[in-house]
Structure 1
């Protein structure tokens, strides 16, 4: 019989979880001011000290910004979510590779298509620059961590330019969730070569201004990724 140790959830953690969920779901928008500590204490039916602890913790992981004399605000959409935030929210899912893959296919496809719909020459030129950095001489010699960082730079850029702040946060989430499995896979030169090839084709679809081709390239990418996961 497998047993998972029971985790005691404190009042402070419960407040954090509720506020974090509101932010992640978009019910609290970027830049929106939160109620005062006194008001939150009344809503949660707790002491102000508990609210203060929860707000400080959320500020440390980058979800909110506390401005002395002004109030507490939800972090801007363009601000990268700290790794600790994502790890804390999704700690139970970090080892579920197939679920992470399914989420990637659904969300990353929409993010890339959304970016395509609003892409201009500047965006496409930056994507070309980033793919050239991924495929630069020496890609076989760098560590899998460094290679993954180059891949992440492209995906995060696309997320930042897709025109949807929630999508950008989701891309940041997926980038972190896939880290452990990707590092292992990218120890293989064949996997790196495949990653370069697929992203090159995706960027070319942007350059050719073909949404239909982009959808095809994205499907090919995820089909091949699924095959590699199943083999592992």
Structure 2
């Protein structure tokens, strides 16, 4: 059975239901668990795309992405690039408590992603300081204004965070950097999972983004490079201070 992504699941009485706004990714994962263990989702079924699941659950795509990643870590689903996400053989895996499998290896994974970001994003910021147009600077400022509003009202700002960094990559005017950055967006999004973005991190990120933009507006590549490094330092400090991340050696 294949779940038709064009079908209106909400009106047709689909098995999914809106998630309560508490530990969203865990609640979404719990619903998948019920459906998989009951057989209402079976081996070979294709899940609706993230945007459709986010609409059904009434949450951000980031929350849906985190839950699906946990299912992948536990072997319940497999993602096929350019095709979709499919249910594996439920009889061949053991379902762990919500997010337990993902949390076990999360720290090392995040350290790897941050190492990659350190190698790429400071230079992207420096290039943007040299090459950004006035229109691009205004767009970056508008994104930060939206982010500030989200932070003030306690809303998830992951999409705005990602948009700020995407605009920086585009403003750098380096096609190779932009291609690499675009290709790894799903990987970079793991650093922005809702469970990893508490109020303090959102506020600190906003301050860091403003420093980066100020350097761009001053056309100062070295200041932009430094501001990005300090931003990534702050992200790392926040991530690895979380109590639910297991201890592993960092690179």
Q: 1:140 touches 1:189 (CA, 8 Å); kept in 2?
A: no
Match of 2:200 among 177, 190, 194: 190
How much does 1:212 deviate?
Answer: 2.7
The unaligned stretches of length 5 or more in structure 1 are 1-82
Per the normalisation by structure 1, the TM-score is 0.54
The unaligned stretches of length 5 or more in structure 2 are 1-79, 86-104, 243-251
Match of 1:166 in 2: 176
Task: Choose 207-216 or 121-130, whichever is displaced more.
Answer: 207-216
- Within 5 Å, give how 1:1-232 maps onto structure 2: 84=81, 96-136=109-149, 139-142=152-155, 144=156, 147-183=157-193, 184-186=195-197, 188-232=198-242
Structure 1 pair 99–137 and aligned structure 2 pair: CA distance change class (3 A)? closer
Q: Separation in 2 of the partners of 1:102 and 1:138?
A: 26
Structure 1 pair 202–231 and aligned structure 2 pair: CA distance change class (3 A)? same
Aligned partner of residue 127 in structure 2, secondary structure: helix
Tell which has more relative contact order, 1 or 2 (C-alpha 8 A, sep 6+).
2
Q: Separation in 2 of the partners of 1:84 and 1:153?
A: 22
Aligned partner of residue 136 in structure 1, secondary structure: helix
Per the normalisation by structure 2, the TM-score is 0.50
Q: Separation in 1 of the partners of 2:190 and 2:116?
A: 16
Instruction: Please provide the CA RMSD for this pair.
Output: 2.7
What whole-Å deviation, never above 9, does each CA across 1:109-152 have from its counterpart, x for those lacking one? 1112112221232221221111111112664332x3xx100111
Structure 1 pair 154–137 and aligned structure 2 pair: CA distance change class (3 A)? closer
